[in-house]
Amino acid sequence: MTESKAQLPAPIPKQQQTRQRLWPLWIITLLALALAIALALWSWQQWNNYQSLQQSITSLESDTEQLDRMYGQTGNQQSQRLQALEEKLSEQRELISTQQRQIDHNARELLEAGNRTRTDWLLAEAEYLLRVANQRLMIEKDIRGALAALESGDEVLAESDDIGVYPVRQQLAKEILALKGIADVDRTGLYLKLEAAIDSIHQLTDDALASDRAPGFIADASDNAAGNTDSVPGLMAEGWNKVKDTLSQVVVVRRLDEPVKPLLSPEQSAYARLNLQLMLEEAELAVLRGHQELYSRSLTKASNAINNWYDSSNDRIIALSQSLDELSEKNVDPELPDISRSLELLKSRLAGRLDNGDGDEQGDAS
């Protein structure tokens, strides 16, 4: 039994066999883990590359759209510029053609001028004077200038030997009489008077403003008894004067049956003068334009402002108010007659003489 046991091999420990079998698994596990980590890192890098590529594509698309818009706007601008240049070119062509027609017309007029008689020149001069009269009356509303031009035109027609101007002179007589029946507006005089009123406003001082005591105020009670002080002799007079001084400091009597004008500060005083100046300048503009409603409204506002803010007893204010009242009665826009009929008749006569002259030339040529 002992020999058999001695011949048996020595038993192998189980732990050593287990270790020899597990170490390859650990190696494989580590390799797999490293491979998984590497695969995850590669996937993450590829995802980042994909994201950056998507962003680049998006930015490129936006840049492309922006460039398209820019090129589209540039193209529109270029087309608009080309269209504007074409329009300017067409306008220049029309202008050149108009100037060419005017040159041809002037050339014909110069050629025909040599064949005109003294009567034709006089009729042309009369036509010019009648045109001036219509412009003076309708645009400038200058009655005197229009009347002088009509009278000069009538004198020129009287010098002509053309019997066909009789209807023109008959109409001119009516128009001259109509103009003489209108009261002429002295616009220059009205303008100068308004300028003088503005200068007087600049010369107004604080003395011309409403006084610091409103109308109806009595400064003290001693004014009512001023006539009785002389009748009290000696000590009674002195005592009475002391009583008056005391009462004048503590007693103020107000009467509210008259309107009270507010006091003006220096800034308000300057504003009042500037406001009056603007109203009168507005009236000057209305005189030059012949606008009666604006003229009357401006002077009314100026008069109301003077009555509200200035002392009506001041000499300068009285003179200014009277001047504004006189100016407000003036009519700067009288009803004007129509004086264009004589000009139309004269144009018809000139056209008739031209046609007759052409007919005579054609008859001579035949």
CATH number for the domain spanning 207: value is 1.20.1440
Nearest to 321 by CA among 256, 276, 286, 281: 276
Tell whether 222 is covered by a domain: yes
Q: What is the pLDDT of residue 205?
A: 66
Whether 194 and 324 share a structural domain: yes
The range of the structural domain enclosing residue 123 comes to 111-185+336-365
Nearest to 175 by CA among 164, 167, 186: 167
Whether 202 and 320 share a structural domain: yes
Tell whether 14 is covered by a domain: no
Whether 117 and 176 share a structural domain: yes
Tell whether 359 is covered by a domain: yes
DSSP code of 313? T
Q: What is the pLDDT of residue 235?
A: 66
269 token code pair:
């005083």
Whether 267 and 137 share a structural domain: no
Whether 316 and 193 share a structural domain: yes
Whether 158 and 270 share a structural domain: no
The tens digit of pLDDT for each residue in 219-257 reads 343 444 444 444 445 566 676 776 666 656 555 555 544
- Domains in the chain, number: 3
Q: Is 93 exposed, middle or buried (0-12, 13-18, 19+ CB in 10 A)?
A: exposed
Tell whether 96 is covered by a domain: no
Whether 198 and 284 share a structural domain: yes
Q: Which helix (H) or strand (E) holds 254?
A: strand 253-254
Q: What is the pLDDT of residue 1?
A: 46
Tell whether 25 is covered by a domain: no
Q: What is the pLDDT of residue 132?
A: 93
Tell whether 54 is covered by a domain: no
CA pseudo-torsion sign 163, 164, 167, 172? negative
Nearest to 138 by CA among 290, 345, 295: 290
Q: Does the predicted TM-score (pTM) go above 0.75?
A: no
Tell whether 224 is covered by a domain: yes
Q: Which helix (H) or strand (E) holds 163?
A: none
Distances (CA, A) of 160 to 122, 124, 153, 175, 255: 6, 11, 11, 20, 81
Whether 191 and 279 share a structural domain: yes
Q: Which helix (H) or strand (E) holds 203?
A: none
Residue type, 39: L
Q: What is the pLDDT of residue 362?
A: 40
Q: What is the pLDDT of residue 134?
A: 92
Whether 237 and 361 share a structural domain: no
Distances (CA, A) of 169 to 58, 144, 150, 165, 272: 89, 19, 10, 6, 56
DSSP strand pairing (217-218 vs 253-254): antiparallel
Q: Contact 169/158 with Cβ under 8 angstroms?
A: yes
86 token code pair:
């074409």
Q: Which residues contact 248 (CB under 8 A, 6 or more apart)?
A: 219, 220, 221, 222
Whether 166 and 225 share a structural domain: no
Whether 233 and 354 share a structural domain: no
pLDDT by residue for the chain (366 residues), tens only, comes to: 445 555 555 555 555 554 556 777 788 888 888 888 988 888 898 888 888 888 888 888 888 888 878 777 777 777 888 888 888 888 888 888 888 888 887 777 766 655 567 888 888 899 999 999 999 888 877 888 889 999 999 999 998 878 888 999 999 999 999 888 876 677 788 888 888 888 888 777 655 565 543 333 333 434 444 444 444 455 666 767 766 666 565 555 555 444 555 555 666 677 778 888 888 888 888 888 778 888 889 899 888 888 888 777 778 888 888 888 888 888 887 778 888 999 999 988 888 776 665 444 443 433
Whether 321 and 351 share a structural domain: no
Tell whether 12 is covered by a domain: no
Residue type, 17: Q
Q: Is 29 exposed, middle or buried (0-12, 13-18, 19+ CB in 10 A)?
A: exposed
Distances (CA, A) of 299 to 133, 195, 279, 329: 31, 13, 7, 10
Q: Contact 357/115 with Cβ under 8 angstroms?
A: yes
